[in-house]
A and B are shown apart, each in its own frame.
Chain A
Amino acid sequence: MKESISLTWRRIPERYKMIGTRCTTCNSNFFPPRSVCSKCRRKGKIEPFEFSGNGKIYSFTEIHAAPAGFENQIPYVMAIVELDEGTRCTGQIVDATLKDLKIGDRVEGTFRKLLSDDPEGPIHYGFKFRLKK
């Protein structure tokens, strides 16, 4: 699988450091980043906001039929994580299988390879989650 280089490059702040956005009008945090506040609309003032990567598992599932580029990783766990700063995001839980996890488990951010294009293409990195012990 190939991902556009410009898309990867644009998402580096979001993927490497979990930089989302925050509306300073209503104090809502958004991840992935939003450029308009869903509550305040045009009255909202949006600025970058770095998430800690800490949160808890809201829901999770194990992937056995992976999309292109992720075939070598099966089986792997995808989860909806409730971030401590107050929003939910989707991410992979690494170093774990279904039997290791339950809803509500604490997780922390980690830095991993997301996918790598063919042997001559770029490698895409970003955040994933792991159980906090």
Chain B
Amino acid sequence: MAGIVGYGAYVPKYRIKSETIAEVWGEDPNRIQKGLGIMEKSVPAIDEDSATLSVESARIAMERAQIAPDELGAVYVGSESHPYAVKPTATMVSQALGATPNLTAADLEFACKAGTAAMQICMGMVDSNMIKYGLAIGADTAQGRPGDALEYSAAAGAAAYIIGKDDQSLAIIEDTFSYTTDTPDFWRRTKADYPSHGGRFTGEPAYFKHVQGAFNGLMEKMDEKIDNYDYFIFHQPNAKFPKAVAKKLGVPKEKIELGMIVPIIGNTYSGNTPLSLANVLDKAKPGEKIFVTSFGSGAGSDAFSIKVTDKIEEKRKKGYPLSHFIENKEYVTYAIYAKLRKKYKGM
């Protein structure tokens, strides 16, 4: 059985408040904050992209895993904002870690769930003894069209997971289950700068259907029940959806609180669920169980049942916890935000 041997998370320093964005577009900041539940979001520096965020998070994961870089047999980076259309982010990441050349590497894209898809691929490769360790990363520097509802949430961050055998793991991944359909809720066409979405269509037929499908599928497959878990993580496109799906599924709200980081960093897309899991792993105790359900538009959900082992306390002493990056922040104006996100013509 595969498990998490090391993990790391990174969020850029800059933040913009929802009220700062609302002011530009003449929106009522209270309505935005109440509706989306997002107070502020992370903004990447001008020299940050999904590759640099991936490296930052992966270096922490490597420090905690305490393995040699050349022991990595696979590197997969999930993102919807890969710096190149053609040239894998995974190659830059592998090289920066010193893991090259004897490994397989590739980029993945599945809207907000490419990071958890990367974890599943690594689990399969570890379980089948194809590789000893695999690195799965979810990273994004997401862009929202100026003035669109997504501009309040589209944020930047990354989390990296080194998957290996369970006997070395700080958390064992007991099982996984996925639920996937062709659902046109959110997309970005080739060469388009910003994504489009189906408005209200993003809720019921997309997020709720797939999250519940994967959640119920894994619970049934494992013959498990909600009471046996200490924490639940649901993908957070905003703060409203995960609370609503938890209520529908009968998950107590106090069990989702630790994983709820979208109100203070925004939706980091492929980094979203992996970052929430990192925040829970930063605090979880040995023996505790975590149920994780990601969601990616298009659409699909990956669910995982994770059990924390007694190795976690020793391993997480190394490297920065996610709170280090969340707390170290600097607010920017909309004008600086537009510069950092290269929204000015000619940049």
Report which A residues bind B (CB closer than 8 A): 12, 16-17, 72-73, 94-95, 110-114, 122-123, 125, 128, 133
Contacts and interface: CB of A to CB of B under 8 A. Distances in A.
Interface stretch (B46-54, B132-140, B162-170, B261-269): B46-54
A17 B49 CA distance: 18
Nearest 3 pairs of A and B residues by beta carbon: A111-B55, A112-B47, A113-B47
B254 to A, nearest CB: 31
B330 A125 contact: no
Given A12-B95, A112-B47, A125-B96, A72 B56 contact: no
10 contacts: A16-B95, A16-B96, A17-B98, A73-B46, A110-B52, A112-B52, A113-B48, A113-B49, A113-B52, A125-B52
B335 interface: no
Contacts of A125: 51-52, 92, 96
A95 B330 contact: yes
B188 interface: no
Contacts of A113: 47-49, 52
B47 A17 contact: no
Contacts of B324: 133
Given A17-B98, A133-B328, A123 B84 contact: yes
B192 interface: no
Most buried by A among B47, B55, B330: B47
Contacts of B92: 16, 125
Nearest to B49: A113
A73 B47 contact: yes
A125 B347 CA distance: 19
Interface in B90-104: 92, 95-96, 98
A95 B47 CA distance: 10
A94 B45 contact: yes
A17 B83 CA distance: 20
A124 to B, nearest CB: 10
A72 B347 CA distance: 7
B342 interface: yes
B339 interface: yes
A126 B129 CA distance: 34
Given A95-B330, A113-B52, 6 more contacts: A95-B14, A111-B52, A111-B96, A112-B45, A123-B83, A133-B324
B13 interface: yes
Nearest to A53: B59
A16 B56 CA distance: 12
B249 to A, nearest CB: 39
Nearest to B320: A133
A101 to B, nearest CB: 14
Contact of B47 (A12, A122, A128): A128
A12 B342 CA distance: 26
Contacts of B47: 73, 94, 112-114, 128
A111 B339 contact: no
Interface string B190-225: 000000000000000000000000000000000000
A94 B45 CA distance: 9
B56 A110 contact: yes
B306 to A, nearest CB: 28
A13 B95 CA distance: 8
Interface in B19-65: 45-49, 51-52, 55-56, 59
